[in-house]
Chains A and B, each alone.
Chain A
Amino acid sequence: MARINAGQRVRLVDTEGNEAVDTFFFNAEDPRERYSAVDTVRRQRNVYLTTGTELVSNEDRTLLTIVDDTCGRHDTLGGACASESNTVRYAHDRKFMHSCRDNFLLALLNWNEDFSKRDLGPNINFFMNVPLSADGGLRFADGISGPGKYVELVAHMDVLILISNCPQLNNPCSGFNPTPVEFLLWDA
């Protein structure tokens, strides 16, 4: 969790490629206002995030805009992995694997105990490839990112960024090999 002030830029770099970076945002002044995947999709009439995408809040305001993207496409419908969904999707013995939900909850509660699970909604999965099909399907596919690819955003208001570099080992979202991502923040 980190604060990004209005006008500042943030860059996430997929250093070794094929990573998934689960990311969520709050209005820093009013955390009841948060990133909304469905409002983002609805406003741009497209399910994939890339350069030009405005990240929209649950109050229909722009939190940040994606201003550069060398990957080309990012997901916002797959959500964050959790012991619960891993158990449903894979097997009961996956319950104790590390997950983005664990990362999210720990970071939120360490930041401020006014936060709880209720404050989470569907997040962004930067660098993750979740194609939707014309017949209504959705799947987690091999990544289209590569070493050194990055996405860059500019903040339109003071926001909190919540990041979990996805530890998922059950599907190809992190290439079955979670690797580091670089987080850069600067005054534009």
Chain B
Amino acid sequence: MPSNAFLLEERIPAGCHHALLLKRGYALRLTDLSGDGNVGLLAFNADERSERYNMADTLKAQHTHKLALGNVLYSDMGRPLLSIMGDSFGWHDTICGTTNAAMIEATYGLNDFQLARNGYYRNGRDGFLMELGRWGLGRRDLVPNANFFSTVTVDDEGNIGLSEASYQPGAWVELRAELNVLVILSTAPHPLREGPAAARTSEASRMPKPGLPYRTEARRHEHATATGNHSRRRPLHGPHQRRAAGAPRGYGRQ
């Protein structure tokens, strides 16, 4: 996909949070630029936000505990919110949730705003809440998220582990909105990720540095679905988005 085909292109620093409204028929590509990435994702029907991504219904309807090409993310109302229509990665986690402040401190050490200003270590739970709060949602809506670019394997006894296969610089996944979808993202580390406090052999902090970004790109899917004429549709925007180079005018801040 040439970069000028994207309507929007944004870089999300590691550890941060972001949201966007993705209209039905539009697609989002997430790219893990560093290979160290994890993108936690929650999804809501933008028109009825009590309808949301449901981990358990997604897994049992597709007899899977991983997400990959061809899978859909089901809502609790039995409808696909997002479809995985492209995937260079192959195995995205669904069963580990996200990090909280205590976990990040235990894993990576204390590095708060007072110490590090905007380089401080953030966590997934707080990031999700700050983003949910912007859209009128809250703690009740923080359900189990998907974790893109993290592979979690399970052995016969049920023990889980984060796979080394998770390290894939440039890995990408494309998600097509099947309804108007509010997408909430957190780029905090995966909760099974071992940091310097847990793996003392590590030479440096494995907390991804701010500035080693993830990239999100929204674009209109070329293949309009059978029920919709998408030529008149416009993507809805989250805050602080800029027009991607080459994108048609009119897709900027609204």
Contacts and interface: CB of A to CB of B under 8 A. Distances in A.
Interface string B143-182: 1100000000111111111000000000000000000000
Contacts of B97: 36, 38-39, 41-42
Contacts of A140: 60
Contacts of A46: 157-160
B74 interface: yes
B66 A136 contact: yes
A103 to B, nearest CB: 15
A45 B160 contact: yes
Given A42-B191, A133-B154, A79 B57 contact: yes
Interface in A46-90: 46-48, 58, 60, 73, 77-80, 82, 84-85, 87-89
A60 B100 contact: yes
B187 interface: no
A85 B60 CA distance: 9
23 contacts: A36-B97, A37-B55, A37-B95, A41-B96, A41-B160, A45-B159, A60-B103, A73-B158, A79-B56, A79-B57, A79-B59, A80-B56, A82-B76, A82-B78, A84-B76, A84-B78, A85-B74, A87-B78, A89-B61, A121-B144, A136-B65, A138-B59, A139-B63
Given A42-B96, A42-B192, A58-B139, A84 B160 contact: no
A58 B142 contact: yes
Given A42-B192, A84-B76, A136-B65, A47 B57 contact: no
A134 interface: yes
Interface of A: 32, 36-39, 41-42, 45-48, 58, 60, 73, 77-80, 82, 84-85, 87-89, 116-119, 121-122, 130, 132-134, 136-140
A119 B140 contact: yes
Given A88-B78, A132-B158, A134-B156, A38 B54 contact: no
Contacts of A122: 55-56, 143-144
Contacts of B192: 42, 45
Given A60-B103, A84-B76, A121-B143, A136 B50 contact: no
A87 to B, nearest CB: 6
Contacts of A36: 97, 144
B133 to A, nearest CB: 13
- Tell me what chain B mostly uses at the interface: helix, strand, loop, or mixed: loop
B158 A79 contact: no
A83 to B, nearest CB: 8
Nearest to B190: A42
A136 B143 CA distance: 21
Nearest to A39: B97
A89 B60 contact: yes
Nearest to A132: B154
A34 B50 CA distance: 17
B153 A137 contact: no
Interface in B35-62: 50, 54-57, 59-61
A114 B96 CA distance: 29
A101 to B, nearest CB: 8
B76 A78 contact: no
Contacts of A138: 59-60, 63-65
B64 A117 contact: no
A60 B95 contact: no
A78 B58 CA distance: 9
A141 B192 CA distance: 28
A78 to B, nearest CB: 5
Nearest to B56: A79
Contacts of B59: 77-79, 138
Contacts of A47: 95, 154, 158, 160
Contacts of B100: 60
A45 B193 CA distance: 12
Nearest to A122: B56
